[in-house]
Amino acid sequence: MSTFGWVTQLLYVAAAVCFVLGLRLMNSPATARRGNQVSTAGMALAIATTFALVVHAGTVTATGWIVMLAGALVGAGAGLYSARTVQMTAMPQLVSLFNAVGGGAAALVAINEYVKLAGATAGVPEATTITTILDVLIGAVTFSGSIIAAGKLQGLINAAPVTFPGSRAANITAAVVAVGGGIYMIATPSVPVMIIIILAALAFGVTMVMPIGGADMPVVISLLNAFTGTAVAMAGFVIGNWALIIAGALVGASGSILTKLMADAMNRSLRNIMIGGFGTGDSAPAVAGPGGDVRSVAADDAAIQLAYAQKIIIVPGYGLAAAQAQHQVAELAALLEERGAEVSYAIHPVAGRMPGHMNVLLAEANVPYPQLKEMEEINPEFPRTDVALVIGANDVTNPAARRPGTAISGMPILDVDQAKSIIVIKRSMGHGYAGIDNELYVNPKTSMLFADAKSALTELIASVKTLVG
Amino acid sequence: MSTELLTDITIFVLALLVGFEVISKVPATLHTPLMSAANSIHGIVLAGAMLIAVTADNALGYILAFVAAAFAAMNVVGGYVVTGRMLKMFRRSRAPVAAAQAPASLNGRGSGGQA
């Protein structure tokens, strides 16, 4: 290997070290920003190294330079603009979009390499064919699947599970064609077959994500994130670049971990989520729980209860974010803290539309991160809590999950019912995603404040100030 | 099968293990920034996209080089910027902004108190 080759390879290793250190620093909110900077520096190094490689090759035509730089500029501009302007509630869409373009770019890298090799006299080595097929398959599925996921999250496509007669059959056909084409290609290198594989994989991505409902999005995004990482690693195999292999593997690991965490938090298997939402299987009507009356409460009374509480846990759900009420909840919490109460937030892993989404929304509303507690950390604290204030969360607080025989049995929940008293802000007695009654609402300790999250919180803030000033 | 493939597979598997080890220590609070950071890391595909240009000499090559570079650059730039933006919001204590907001809402209290 030439000296130049050695140097570039070592620089790629240095970049990979930066990526790992950057992820390592993300193990605490205090160091996470530095982590992102270290990772950015690694990326800058990797790109600069690649630029040197491209220049060193000396074969790039004038047109080649123009298209490459123009493409990079257009992409960088679009990325910068969307990153600067995106609302925090829209973060899942943006992440999905970045998954799509990352997966798409990875597939294009392999397509280019394959077309080039297929045209050469030496032909395509078998190993390259296999990694190309994997890259193209995973990359194309990620591309179309992520675009559909982003469309659903943005509300451009019906967020509910969308199925049409024969959609399962279409999905299976696409999978069979893609895999069959892949096997054919290993035996007989062929560019047209690769195009068929690409189209089938794109169709598979669409038919895979369309039937998945909005509440399952945290799992889908995580899974597509893992796919993108794997596609990038495969692109690294195809063009023989270690930086791509390492970076892709890191992302693949991250996506897989998050996928598993999300699926566990909903107590559902990946297969179950991919095949269909709640209500399609054995979710028989809930076993009749301890019946009882629902106690409704006025904002003034709820405010007094909160104002005299020593320890308060706020349980935010996606409904809070949907109502854009995170700033009001932060204001109420600040007010109660000024009065000497201890306030913390109980965050269920699937509160939001992507892993950790609720934490970002609350951080944006100026909630200090030490108050954001994970489920395992906060659950032992509920029995010592004077008031648990549930806003926009439903299924994740339902004690029915502890009993067998309900649609959510076994799902890890927040032990809200163990608090000394509970206030639930909710618009109506409507069901959550699982479509079953929430036994928390008929608990004698629970008072229901029927209102929209934003107006209820605004009223609470005003009442606390007026009544107990 | 070549030695290169074997080396590549070794690197891939080891990197995967490092990834599992490092990422399982990230707290749930930071899972969104983590995914966004992972997203920016797979922007490394920009390196692959740039290398397309090395051999591109016909229309197909140029189109692929352009689209791949655009996709990858969007991924890498957007990913890092948005991750940084999110992480900046995570503060240990309430930022002064809250203090600035408080007086504004105190007005409501004054009038309410009289009623």
Band (pLDDT 50/70/90 cuts) for residue B110 is: very low
Q: Is A395 one of the catalytic residues? A: yes
B107 touches chain A (CB under 8 A): no
ipTM above 0.95, yes or no: no
- Residue B3 to chain A, least CA–CA distance (Å): 11
Of A55-59, A300-304, A321-325, the poorest mean pLDDT is in A321-325
Whole-number pLDDT of residue A46: 97
Residue linked to tokens 């000296």: A3
Query: Is A316 within 8 Å of chain B by CB?
Result: no
State the pLDDT confidence band at A281, using cuts at 50, 70 and 90. very low
For residue A89, pLDDT over 70 is answered with yes
| Residue A410 clears pLDDT 90, i.e. is over it | no
Residue A178 in contact with residue A208, Cβ under 8 Å? no
Tokens describing residue A216: 């399952």
User: How far apart are the C-alpha atoms of A255 and A229, rounded to whole Å?
Assistant: 8
Nearest to A464 by CA among A263, A253, A326, A303: A303
Q: What are phi and psi of A296, to 5 degrees?
A: -95, 150
pLDDT at A293: 80
What is the spatial distance between Cα A398 and Cα A452, in angstroms, rounded to a whole number? 20
Alpha helices in B27-94 (DSSP H): 31-41, 45-55, 59-89
Q: How far is B97 from chain A (nearest CA, A)?
A: 8
**CB-based contact A83:A318 (threshold 8 Å):** no
Q: For residues A26 and B40, what is the distance between their CA atoms, to the nearest angstrom?
A: 14
Low-confidence winner among A249-253, A255-259, A392-396, B94-98 (lowest mean pLDDT): B94-98
Residues B69, A71: contact at Cβ < 8 Å? Answer: yes
pTM to 2 decimal places: 0.89
Q: How far is CA A320 from CA A26, A334, A444, in A?
A: 27, 17, 24
Q: Using the predicted structure, report yes or no on whether residue B105 has a pLDDT greater than 50.
A: no
- Domain spans of chain A? 89-275, 299-468
Contact state of A105 with B22 under an 8 Å Cβ cutoff: no
Given a cut of 50, whether residue A286 has pLDDT beyond it is no
Give the burial string for B72-106 (b: 16+ CB within 10 Å, else e): bbbbbbbbbbbbbbbbebbeeebeeebeeeeeeee
Cβ distance of A112 and B27 shorter than 8 Å? no
The Cα–Cα gap between B114 and A303 comes to: 18
| Cross-chain residue pair A359–B75, CB shorter than 8 Å | no
Instruction: Return d(Cα A77, Cα A457) in angstroms, integer.
Output: 39
**Other residues' Cβ atoms within 10 Å of the Cβ of residue A375:** 19
pLDDT of residue A92: 93
**A17 — contact with chain B (CB < 8 Å)?**
no
Q: Which of A4-8, A150-154, A419-423, B103-107 has the lowest mean pLDDT?
A: B103-107
Query: A139 falls in which pLDDT band (50, 70, 90)?
Result: very high
The single residue of A135, A216, A395, A417 carrying the catalytic annotation is A395
Confidence of residue A291 (pLDDT cuts 50, 70, 90): low
Rg (CA), chain B: 24
| Mutation site for B-interface testing, chosen from A23, A220, A350 by largest number of B Cβ within 10 Å | A23
**Residues in chain B closer than 8 A to A458 (CB atoms):** none
Neighbours of A165 (CB within 10 A): 7
* A355-383: pLDDT as tens digits: 999 999 999 999 999 999 999 999 999 99
Nearest residue on chain B to A58, alpha-carbon basis:
B54
d(CA B51, CA B49): 5
Q: What is the pLDDT of residues B47-87, one digit of tens each?
A: 999 999 998 889 999 999 999 999 999 999 999 999 999 99
**Secondary element (H or E) of residue A312:** strand A311-316
- Mention the CATH class of domain A299-468: alpha beta
* Structure confidence at residue B1 (pLDDT): 60
Q: How many helices (H) and strands (E) does chain A have?
A: 16, 6
Alpha-carbon span A142 to B29, nearest angstrom: 26
CB pair distance less than 8 Å for B77 and A251: no
In degrees, to the nearest 5, what angle opens at C-alpha B93 toward C-alphas B84 and A372?
75
User: Position of tokens 């290793």?
Assistant: A13
Q: How far apart are CA A349 and CA A359, in angstroms?
A: 10
Percentage of chain A lying above the pLDDT 70 cut: 96
Structure confidence by residue, pLDDT tens digits, A107-132:
999 999 999 888 887 778 888 899 99
Give the one of B48, B65, B79 whose C-beta lies nearest to A239's C-beta.
B48
Q: Where are the beta strands (DSSP E) in A317-468?
A: 342-347, 372-374, 387-391, 421-426, 446-450
Which amino acid would we find at residue B99?
A
Whether A288 has a pLDDT exceeding 70, the answer reads no
Whether chain B has a CB inside 8 Å of the CB on A5: the answer is no
Window 23-42 of B: residues touching A by CB (8 A cutoff) are 23-42
Among chain B residues, the shortest Cα distance to A110 is held by B48
Q: Which two tokens stand for residue A51?
A: 């630029």
Whether B45 contacts A241, CB under 8 Å: no
The residue with tokens 């397509």 is: A111
| Alpha carbons B45 and B38: distance in angstroms, whole number | 12
CB of A25 closer than 8 Å to CB of A32: yes
Minimal-distance CA residue of chain B relative to A125? B1
